[in-house]
A = this chain, B = another copy of it.
Amino acid sequence: MRKMRKVILSEKEMPTQWYNIQADMPNPMQPPLHPVTRQPVGPDDLAPLFPMELIMQEVSQERYIDIPEEVQDIYKIWRPSPLIRAINFEKALDAPVKIYYKNESVSPAGSHKPNTAVPQAYYNYKEGVKKLTTETGAGQWGSALAFACGFFGIELQVFMVKVSFDQKPYRKSMMNTWNANVVASPSNLTQAGKKILSEHPDSPGSLGIAISEAIEAAVSDPGTKYSLGSVLNHVLLHQTIIGQEALKQFEIAEDYPDVVIGCFGGGSNFAGISFPFVRENLTNGKSARIVAVEPKSCPKLTRGKFTYDFGDTVGMTPLIPMFTLGHNFMPPKIHAGGLRYHGAGPIVSQLLKDKLIEASAVPQKECFEAGVKFARSEGIIPAPETTHAIAQVIREAEQAKREGKSKTILFNLSGHGLVDMAAYDQYFAGGLEDFSISQEEIEASVRSLEVVPA
């Protein structure tokens, strides 16, 4: 019999609710703390940044949250996304594994990011917000939010990490086409940016810095709010449609994964594919391994410290309980700009602490090697971020081969790499580095963190 190649759901089968893992976590998270008072943050503290609906989602304990019809209508431009069996990649690996992937690269912005960009733009629109600010690393998030703001007539200012701004000019063009304004961060538009530029004129920027700038730009203008593409609970919530769809699709395929893999920056695509499977582990007797894959050069999950830290470099966000390398940690200039972030979202951090998920770290060259192998067998050129998940898939396949045990693997193809081709050029030219981070560096960076009463 011929192998199934993929499972597509119809528009009517698209989930109409997001899954909120907070309802099922065995240990609650510690609360975020106000950056000045060090008291637990309340909804009012966040009101200058986010619309109330998103703040309520941030702390909600409801297991399922309805997806507004207006958001569903936009999702349906590309969702449900296909679950694809990587038949040719399996052949190329020659291991006793079945490999499936959710293809989130079919969104108009080319990644999973619109899953949260659209509801964020929508809730802001509903609250009358006319302008948003945000940061972006490689540009996937900025592109997605520019795309989303277009539907609701919201103006957008994007602070794009300078190294990516220079490496990926097409990302800026995409955002412009969707009507957003983009500057390289650190920029002269904010005090935070000016201060960093005065001290480090050649700063390549980082997500932490760009977040500081975007927050400052939002709070200093009453009609403007801020939007974040990862880390926070409501962002991860919106991404769970990926895993919710995948569960339905596995049911149709009459299969189930032994391991679920996502690359890891702040947690959004990883959470999206995996949280519904964590729920199945917690509440439904399943036992899939859940693996978050980070760059070896930005190893907060595998080598960071679990403590309170700021989400940004300057220290404007609430203090968040998380695995972190310290908010001053400057990740090396790897091409996976979306993974160049010092900390892990609080839910993911708690799940890792509770050993409900695993973490793995892979070096840059291994990732691109995996990406090229995937492109040449399966046909899709993955984003540099996504190659981290694929590198882990190959490790899992090799382990299965060594142990002679068969295994079913699911990973999230979080985005395509068509706007990141300069990274592939550099890989083929032998110009990619495997940056290593010394234990001293991490300890120095983490030591600087204040101990905050929990």
Interface residues of A, Cβ cutoff 8 Å to B = 2-11, 69, 73-74, 76-78, 80, 82, 84, 87-88, 106, 108-110, 114, 147, 150-151, 169-170, 173-174, 176-179, 372, 375-381, 416, 418-419, 421-422, 424-425, 428
B-chain residues with CB within 8 Å of residue A6 when the two chains form the complex: 11, 76-77
Of B73, B78, B375, B418, the residue contacting A2 (CB under 8 A) is B73
Of B3, B78, B179, the residue contacting A376 (CB under 8 A) is B179
Q: Is the CB of B5 within 8 A of A170?
A: no
Q: Is the CB of A376 within 8 A of B178?
A: yes
10 CB-based A-B contacts, threshold 8 Å: A6-B76, A74-B379, A77-B378, A173-B422, A176-B424, A177-B375, A177-B376, A177-B421, A418-B419, A419-B421
B-chain residues with CB within 8 Å of residue A177 when the two chains form the complex: 372, 375-376, 381, 421, 424, 428
Q: Is the CB of B380 within 8 A of A418?
A: no
The 4 closest A-B pairs by CB, nearest first: A173-B421, A5-B76, A170-B421, A108-B380
Number of chain copies forming the complex: 2
Contact A4/B11 with A151-B379, A176-B424, A375-B177 known, Cβ cut-off 8 Å: yes
Q: How far is the CB of A289 from chain B (nearest CB, A)?
A: 26
Q: Is the CB of B170 within 8 A of A418?
A: yes
B-chain residues with CB within 8 Å of residue A173 when the two chains form the complex: 421-422, 424-425
Greatest chain B CB density within 10 A among A4, A73, A173, A372 is at A173
The docked-state distance in angstroms from the alpha carbon of A176 to that of B427 is 11
Contact A8/B11 with A150-B376, A379-B147, A381-B108 known, Cβ cut-off 8 Å: yes
Q: Is the CB of B418 within 8 A of A110?
A: yes
B-chain residues with CB within 8 Å of residue A424 when the two chains form the complex: 173, 176-177
**Can you name the residue of chain B whose Cβ is closest to the Cβ of A74?**
B379
B-chain residues with CB within 8 Å of residue A10 when the two chains form the complex: 8, 10
The docked-state distance in angstroms from the alpha carbon of A170 to that of B418 is 7
The docked-state distance in angstroms from the alpha carbon of A367 to that of B377 is 36
**Can you name the residue of chain B whose Cβ is closest to the Cβ of A149?**
B376
**Can you name the residue of chain B whose Cβ is closest to the Cβ of A417?**
B177
Q: Is the CB of A150 within 8 A of B379?
A: yes
The docked-state distance in angstroms from the alpha carbon of A380 to that of B109 is 8
**Can you name the residue of chain B whose Cβ is closest to the Cβ of A147?**
B379
Q: Is the CB of A5 within 8 A of B380?
A: no
The docked-state distance in angstroms from the alpha carbon of A416 to that of B428 is 25
The docked-state distance in angstroms from the alpha carbon of A82 to that of B428 is 34
Contact A150/B377 with A8-B8, A418-B170, A419-B418 known, Cβ cut-off 8 Å: yes
Greatest chain B CB density within 10 A among A77, A150, A372 is at A77
B-chain residues with CB within 8 Å of residue A108 when the two chains form the complex: 379-381, 416
**Can you name the residue of chain B whose Cβ is closest to the Cβ of A88?**
B151
Q: Is the CB of B2 within 8 A of A379?
A: no
The docked-state distance in angstroms from the alpha carbon of A301 to that of B73 is 38
Of B11, B109, B380, the residue contacting A77 (CB under 8 A) is B380
The docked-state distance in angstroms from the alpha carbon of A379 to that of B75 is 11
**Can you name the residue of chain B whose Cβ is closest to the Cβ of A73?**
B5
The docked-state distance in angstroms from the alpha carbon of A177 to that of B106 is 19
With A77-B379, A150-B375, A177-B376 already in contact, 11 other A-B pairs whose C-beta atoms are closer than 8 Å? A3-B73, A6-B76, A8-B80, A77-B380, A78-B82, A109-B379, A150-B377, A170-B422, A176-B428, A177-B381, A177-B424
B-chain residues with CB within 8 Å of residue A150 when the two chains form the complex: 375-377, 379
**Can you name the residue of chain B whose Cβ is closest to the Cβ of A10?**
B8
B-chain residues with CB within 8 Å of residue A419 when the two chains form the complex: 170, 418-419, 421
B-chain residues with CB within 8 Å of residue A428 when the two chains form the complex: 176-177
The docked-state distance in angstroms from the alpha carbon of A84 to that of B107 is 13
Q: How far is the CB of A118 from chain B (nearest CB, A)?
A: 9
B-chain residues with CB within 8 Å of residue A82 when the two chains form the complex: 78
Q: How far is the CB of A341 from chain B (nearest CB, A)?
A: 24
The docked-state distance in angstroms from the alpha carbon of A416 to that of B416 is 13
B-chain residues with CB within 8 Å of residue A425 when the two chains form the complex: 173, 176
The docked-state distance in angstroms from the alpha carbon of A331 to that of B11 is 43
